[in-house]
Amino acid sequence: MAAPPASWFQLAATPPMGWNSWNQVGENVTERVVLTAAEAMVERGLRDASYTYVVIDDGWQAPERDGRGRLLADPVRFPSGMAAVAEAVHALGLKFGIYSAPGARTCAGRVGSRGHEHADAELFASWGVDFLKYDWCGAGPQTREYERETFEVMRDALIATGRDIVYSVADYGVGHPWEWGRGTAHLWRTTFDIWPHWGSVFSLLNQQWAAQRGSGPGGWADPDMLQVGNGALRALRTSATWPSGACSQRRCSPATTSRRHRQKPSTC
């Protein structure tokens, strides 16, 4: 597909906002962690402030595909299955996101989507997925053209499902995705991972001024998740990360949102 339809850009007319599991639990994500975070987003008013996506990052997959080549959720961590988890998230008035990678393996060594892009996209759609994070994870040479072509394979597969799925890609800024991200994805990572200390937050924020090209309704620069309630960040500095997201025209995904965190964040 040469270019996505105009309706595809409307899926991210504003920056998608929500919660992602990685900075809270890493690859040790479980069904209970996800649903607890989703419930907390509703209870604390985040859903009503437009934080509507609940995204499961790396670690949800079973070690291998089944005999028919289909991805499987880890049966211990997600005993109810992904369709049931998505249904529970949707019942809370939220949207459901999941993770994969364009290589044979993900960053955590789980099964990737290489050679199975269309089958995986159909599976995600059947589960009720609303958001896909697609993480490079050493999928090949990080040249601009190769990255773009690789990411567009999954973009086209998602569009072909007929389901509205926001598409987020991560090459960590290596291939300058701000030069080609618009039309390839709804979100493109501009940096390597953020860490829960102010030096990392400030460093990544400073990198954004040169990386905003093409960012606007339909496609957004993404300097990684907000570090809220994590690590060594003091309350004042944690609060300061929220307006920094607005300044950089980015999506906002707090990495920790649960009942045990008493701080009420401002909106972005």
Q: Which of 57, 58, 135, 222 is catalytic?
A: 135
Q: DSSP strand E in the chain: where? A: 18-20, 53-55, 95-100, 131-135, 166-170, 187-189, 220-222
**Burial class of residue 263, CB neighbours in 10 A (0-12, 13-18, 19+):** exposed
| Number of neighbours of residue 7 by Cβ within 10 angstroms | 9
| C-alpha closest to that of 253 among 57, 2, 8 | 57
Q: Is 193 a catalytic residue?
A: yes
User: 154 phi and psi, to 5 degrees?
Assistant: -70, -35
Residue whose structure tokens are 């944690």:
238
Distance of CA 111 to the CA centre of its chain: 17
Q: Which residues are part of the catalytic machinery?
A: 135, 193
